[in-house]
Structure 1
Amino acid sequence: MHNNFNNAYPADKKEMYKLLASQMKALLEGETNTTANLANASALINEALSGINWAGFYLMDNEELVLGPFQGKVACVRIPVGRGVCGTAVKENATQLVMDVHNFPGHIACDSASKSELVIPLRHEGVAMGVLDIDSPQIGRFDNTDAEELEKIARIIEEACQWKGNR
């Protein structure tokens, strides 16, 4: 489990996300390589968020999600669109905020320690090119503020990446 003992991030959630957004913009500025940007983005998110055990990306490849850059334990490599939380996020092209993954129909348990999950589609011209996936070993770790603020972070990531060939 990732514990954030780094006091570089404010305890106030809104302030923490404001700092994370400015750091993400600075980190990705001037770089368009998708792999490099997603690798750094997952590392930064993993460092900033407390109470999480996985932060990373799945990218569309031949109409299924394939594991991309991440921080955490080994993960499922391929996820069909419509399956699990990640596949549902792509199918619905909408953020999935899941308080308890064991109550989510068709949940795919890549890590049995994960109990809650937040998945945000990454889009290019309105089409889901992949997802930002964040897991926690705590039930109810994520709330609407996390979803709204991490959607803003996802927009920063989308804008920085070149998405050609990812779909």
Structure 2
Amino acid sequence: MSLQQTFGDLRAQLAKRIIGQDKLVDRLLIALLADGHLLVEGAPGLAKTTAVKALADHLEGDFHRIQFTPDLLPSDVTGSEIYRAETGTFEFQRGPIFHNLVLADEINRAPAKVQSALLEAMGERQISVGMRTFPLPKLFMVMATQNPIEQEGTYPLP
């Protein structure tokens, strides 16, 4: 099966689950093909979460949704070092960014430090914690959503 047929079949399967959002489906597939990411601005209820979940299902990848809020910390996205009293050592606990497909919901509700941690992961396909660097999965795509900037409680993207 050619790449064109494969993507055509994937598009058809996604369109069955995400009705009336052909542009969103096309943009998801373009981001996937380009090994990139996607930023979607729009009101709630436009099937953004459903779209990324459906894509993850069809690709047999794992999915995680991160709800961005004003009190979110960078370590809530990337993970952090956890002290293990039984061994007296620190162990890295991976954060939700280590999934294949990540929905960064309402990215402009989080402070700049959190946005920067996500943007580093997206740009470099790795995260740094302390003196260590951790690679992200080969299949790694973020679909970020944002509310219109006029809404209260939003921060501009860096």
Q: TM-score, normalised by structure 2?
A: 0.36
Q: Radius of gyration: which is bigger?
A: 2
TM-score (norm 1): 0.34
